[in-house]
Amino acid sequence: MITKNIQLAADKLKDGEILAIPTETVYGLAANAYSEDAVKKIFDLKNRPNNNPLIVHIKSYDFLQNVALDIPDAAIKLAREFWPGPLTLVLKKQAHIPDLVTAAKETVAVRMPNHPMSIALLEKLDFPIAAPSANPFGSISPTSAEHVYHYFKDNLDLILDGGHCEKGIESTIIGFQNNEAILYRHGSISVEEIERVIGKIKIMTKNETAPEAPGMLSKHYAPSTKIFLSDDIHELIKKHSGKKIGLLSFDKQIIGVDILHQEILSSTSSLEQAAYNLYSALHRLDSYNLEVILAERLPNVGLGKTINDRLERATK
Ligand code: AMP
Ligand code: MG
């Protein structure tokens, strides 16, 4: 059922069941973060490997001490600046957080979401919500209730409908080593914005990522149609001529070539608007029975880095 009834959603979570919830980033599959049994249902439905930890969503800054300890000053600064919002902090965990939530690590990923429905839902609960994106493992993240329904149909009882996600792309994940801040995942808040608050941070390269941020797989966020990415979209089109082509471009319509569908992420060249539209455009292109999706790399600044990161992973 797709509903706007927040009380119904709260009752379901209290009963140890799972459901989909809207956030400002993407839709999440939610469970009581303190219940290993409830959280297991998320892994089963998503087909998500156990070594891929979940983000714990809390209702307030003050609730943070219930899930994390020894919080670095830089983390406090970032939380004060960006919460509620699309910033996930990886912190030392409180012992009672189940191993399944954290992939048996000593750390927990936590954020305070900024969506009126998820905040109202958390207000009705005395436990935090563990929630990964509401898609089968590895596929494109959902940014609307319809995307979630399309994936899970009747295998999921309840989808809380909060409209199209305002940001449309996942949270930025920051961890700490010896009190030094490290970017684990590009997200809705750009590196530049983070650095404005706490100064230069370390960007974890793909090879370093594996042990520290399990689940940051190089292949992820992928449509089922094969996707290719390039700075030179015309070259790419030439290479694939004769095929059933779908095009994903940043801000310009490509004319005079034989393509079946084109998605333009932002005709005003706004990276924020491009992030908002990215997954919806990929969902649409994936539904047209194309042979290939050809994508244009975005300018590599601000949210452009996040979008390029997602497109890069989609091509693997
Ligand atoms: P999702 O909610 O599907 O966007 O995935 C959450 C991501 O958060 C995972 O893929 C992990 O990479 C990251 N994450 C969650 N918990 C931790 C943790 N304790 N340490 C490092 N990364 C984490
Ligand atoms: Mg995900």
pLDDT in tens, 109-153: 999 999 999 999 999 999 999 999 999 999 999 999 999 999 999
What's the token pair of residue 285?
Answer: 């292109």
259 C-alpha to ligand 1 centroid (Å): 37
Burial, 279: exposed, middle or buried (Cβ in 10 Å; 0-12, 13-18, 19+)? buried
CA distances from residue 44 to 37, 40, 57 in whole angstroms, order as listed? 11, 6, 20
Residue nearest to atom 10 of ligand 1 (CA): 215
Q: Give the Å distances, CA to CA, from 57 to 112, 168, 242, 269, 279.
A: 5, 17, 47, 32, 22
Distance 26 CA to ligand 2 centre (A): 9
In whole angstroms, what is the distance from residue 111 CA to residue 286 CA?
31
3-state secondary structure of 69: strand
**Overall pTM surpassing 0.85 (yes/no):** yes
Annotated domain spans of the chain? 2-169, 226-314
- Is 226-314 assigned to CATH 3.40.50.170? no
- Ligand 2 centroid–CA 260 distance in Å is 29
C-alpha closest to that of 236 among 170, 314, 297: 297
Q: What is the mean pLDDT of residues 83-89?
A: 98
CATH T-level assignment (fold) for domain 2-169? DHBP synthase (3.90.870)
Q: Is the pLDDT of residue 204 over 60?
A: yes
Predicted pLDDT at 215: 56
Structure tokens at 210: 């594996």
Nearest to 147 by CA among 223, 250, 226, 48: 223
Element (H, E) at 31: strand 28-32
* Tens of pLDDT, residues 212-267: 666 566 777 888 999 999 999 999 999 999 999 999 999 999 887 778 899 999 99
Mean pLDDT of the 16-36 span: 98
Q: Give pLDDT, residue 310.
A: 95
Mean pLDDT for all residues in the chain: 94
What percent of the chain shows pLDDT beyond 90?
90
pLDDT score recorded for residue 179: 83
- Ligand 2 is a single-atom ion; what residues have CB below 5 A from it? 133
Name the DSSP letter for residue 154: G
pLDDT digits (tens, 9 = 90+) for 276-309: 999 999 999 999 999 999 999 999 999 999 999 9
For the segment 143-196, what is each residue's pLDDT rounded down to a tens digit? 999 999 999 999 999 999 999 999 999 999 999 998 899 999 999 999 999 999
52 alpha carbon – ligand 2 mean position (Å): 10
H or E stretch covering 305? helix 303-315
Mutate to test the pocket of ligand 1, among 18, 23, 50, 54 (most ligand atoms within 8 A of CB): 54
Task: Give the residues surrounding ligand 1 with Cβ less than 6 Å away.
Answer: 52-53, 55, 90, 102, 105, 107-109, 132-133, 170, 173, 175, 184, 212-213, 215-216
Q: In the chain, what percentage of residues exceed pLDDT 70? A: 96
Segment holding 93, helix H or strand E:
strand 87-93
Residue 208: predicted pLDDT:
55
User: For residue 237, how far is its CA from the centre of ligand 2 (angstroms)?
Assistant: 30
